[in-house]
Amino acid sequence: MLAKQTTRRIIEPGTKLMSDGNEVTTYSNLLSGVVKLTKILADGRQQIVGLQFAPDFIGRPFKRENQLDAEAATRVSVCSFPKSVFERLIINSPSVEHRLHHQALKELDEARTWMLTLGRKTAAEKVASLLYYISCHIDPERPHLEGPVEFELPLTRAEIGDFLGLTIETVSRQFTKLRKSGAIEIVHNRSIKLLSLDQIRRHAKLDPET
């Protein structure tokens, strides 16, 4: 549908899809990879306010200007289309709006969960929470089973700090702590193995279900 006006692109890590303060001109669907959404204070302090995984929709509907940056965290493949196409699509099809509404609510739930994490959890709990979150989203295929999970972190230590409101050093120390406690194995910097999901959940102060 509307194939002519959509373009598929591969985007390298670090490339911006949207910039804070710029006019919204295109929307995208994320086909693979991870995109990070960030906010920056005038003095440079930075906060990641969300991660998007395939097959998320990227862009802020109904707004002239973006309020955040979207940047590829890994190599990413997206399908983009101009604002005009988006607007025609959504006017003609309530089911598209319904789908976007659903995603907005899902992201709202997530953002609020992160507010709890940022405001009330310790550094160790924050790192465990992020590891668990990523492990749940990184691989759309994998069912939610117990047992060890291994995956490649889509974020550097600095980005993890910017997500969790911590410094690089604190993040690094919490990784070593989790490793020494036997909850995770650091296969090689970005490549992490969660030895027991249940244990990670306990470290993250998450309920058994979540």
Residues that bind DNA (CB under 7 A): 122-124, 156-158, 165-173, 175-176, 186, 189-190
The answer to whether residue 169 forms part of the interface with a copy of itself (CB under 8 A) is: no
**Cα–Cα distance measured from residue 168 to residue 172, given in angstroms and rounded to the nearest whole number:** 6
Among positions 7, 9, 23, 111, the unique one binding a copy of itself when judged by CB under 8 A: 111
Which residues are CB-contacts of 40 (< 8 A; sequence separation ≥ 6)? 20, 46, 47, 69
Q: Which of 115, 139, 150, 182 binds a copy of itself (CB under 8 A)?
A: 115
* Position among 74, 113, 156, 167 found at the interface with a copy of itself (CB under 8 A): 113
3-state secondary structure of 173: helix
Cβ 154 to DNA, closest distance in Å? 11
Chain-centre distance of CA 182, in angstroms?
A: 26
62: left (phi over 0), alpha (psi -120 to 50) or beta: left
Q: CB of 153: closest distance to DNA in angstroms? A: 7
20 forms bridges with which residues in the sheet? Answer: none
6, 29, 32, 46: which one contacts a copy of itself (CB under 8 A)?
A: 46
- Residue 33: count of CB within 10 angstroms of its CB: 19
Residues forming contacts to a copy of itself in the complex (CB under 8 A) are 37, 39, 41-43, 45-47, 49-50, 60-63, 67-68, 94, 97-98, 100-102, 104-105, 107-109, 111-116, 118-121, 162-165, 205, 207
